[in-house]
Structure 1
Amino acid sequence: MDVKAKVTELLQPYLNEDQFFIVDIQVSPSRSRSKITVLLDSDTGITIDECTEISRRLGSQLEELDLFDGAAFVWEVSSPGIGEPLTLLRQYRKNIGREVTVLLNDGQIRKGTLEDANDERILITETPVKKPKKKDPPASGPVEIPFTDIKKTTIQVSFK
């Protein structure tokens, strides 16, 4: 079993019956010091205290398993940063009502309010662009964007 799969397995009891969900597990092996980064979230967000508790419990198990054959390693449990792209349907649903920027596979950029998300697509109400570029279609209300067309979606931070 690889390290990522083992960490996923070990995390299951700490997800509080699906309250928390795994966004990503990154394993960076190294001769000097390997790193395991676990990104968790929930439908209502995850606190630093919750991440710390999971990190402590998981860390003691990881040390016992010796996943890197005696080599030193560090691990980190946190929530995805504000600039991290949305990767899971559950993240899209959590952020309905927020402003997003969607980079499409063909290079187009669509901006607007995330209205809905299902297994196949998202729906956004586009924000009018001050000076639209010729290649960008004009803003025209709700737009369906299939997940297959999306390269990356990020939440736009607003300080209004």
Structure 2
Amino acid sequence: MDVKAKVNELLQPHLNEDQYFVVDIQVSPSRTRAKITVLLDSDTGITIDECAVISRRLGNQLEELEIFDGQPFTLEVSSPGVDEPLVFRRQYLKNIGREIEVLLNDGQSRRGKLESVGEETIVITEKPLKKPKKNDPPVEPMAIPFTDIKKSTIQVSFK
């Protein structure tokens, strides 16, 4: 079993019966000090303290198993940053109402407010490129199938 799969297996009991979920696990082997990065999330977000508890427990297990044959390693457990792409439907759900940029598989990009999330699609309302005039038709929400999405990121606004 590779390190990434072992880390994922060891994480499962610490996810509080699916309260938390694994977004990504990255393993960077090194001759001097390997690095394991674990990104966790939940439907309501995850705190630094929650990450620290999981990190301590997981770190102890990895040390006991001598995951890198006794060589030192660094373990980072955190939530995905605002610049990390959305990966799972659960992440879209908790971001309803926020500004999102969606890169489609065909290279097109869509940007707008995430209105809703279905089983197979998301719905966004794009912002008009120019200020609409009185006779312009209203902007209609657009459904985008998950299968058409290459990458989605939440857009942070400091307004």
* Shared fold, TM over 0.5: yes
Q: Distance between the aligned counterparts of 1:23 and 1:118, measured in 2?
A: 20
Partner Cα separation in structure 1 for residue 128 and residue 31 of structure 2: 51
Q: Could you say what secondary structure the match of 2:156 adopts? A: coil
Amino acid in structure 1 at the alignment position of 2:63: E
Letter in 1 for 2:112: G
Q: TM-score, normalised by structure 2?
A: 0.90
Task: Name the CA distance, whole Å, in 1 between partners of 2:106 and 2:152.
Answer: 14
**Which aligned runs of 4 or more in structure 1 are off by greater than 6 angstroms?**
none
Number of the residue aligned with 1:54: 54
Q: Which runs of 5+ in 1 are unaligned?
A: 132-138
C-alpha deviation, 1:149, in angstroms:
1.5
Alpha-carbon distance, 1:98 to partner: 0.8
Q: Which residue is 1:92 aligned to? A: 92
Identity %: 74
- Relative to the length of structure 1, the TM-score reads 0.90
The aligned amino acid for 2:8 is: T
CA distance in 1, matches of 2:4, 2:116: 31
1:150 corresponds in structure 2 to: 149
Task: Report the CA distance between 1:130 and its aligned residue.
Answer: 3.5
Report the residue type matching 1:105 in the other structure: N
Give CA deviations for 1:73-118 in whole Å, capped at 9, x if unaligned. 1110000000100011110111111110111122211011111223
1:69 matched to 2:63? The reply is no
Unpaired runs of 5+ residues, structure 2, are 132-137
CA distance in structure 2 between the partners assigned to 1:140 and 1:57 by the alignment? 50
Measured in 2, the distance between the counterparts of 1:121 and 1:83 equals: 22
Q: CA RMSD in A?
A: 1.7
Amino acid at match of 2:91: Q
Aligned twin of 2:44:
44
Number of residue pairs matched?
154
Measured in 2, the distance between the counterparts of 1:143 and 1:15 equals 34
How far apart are the structure 2 equivalents of 1:102 and 1:73?
36
Rounded to whole Å, the distance in 2 between the matches of 1:16 and 1:34 is: 27
Alignment of structure 1 residues 1-160 onto 2, 5 Å: 1-130=1-130, 140-160=139-159
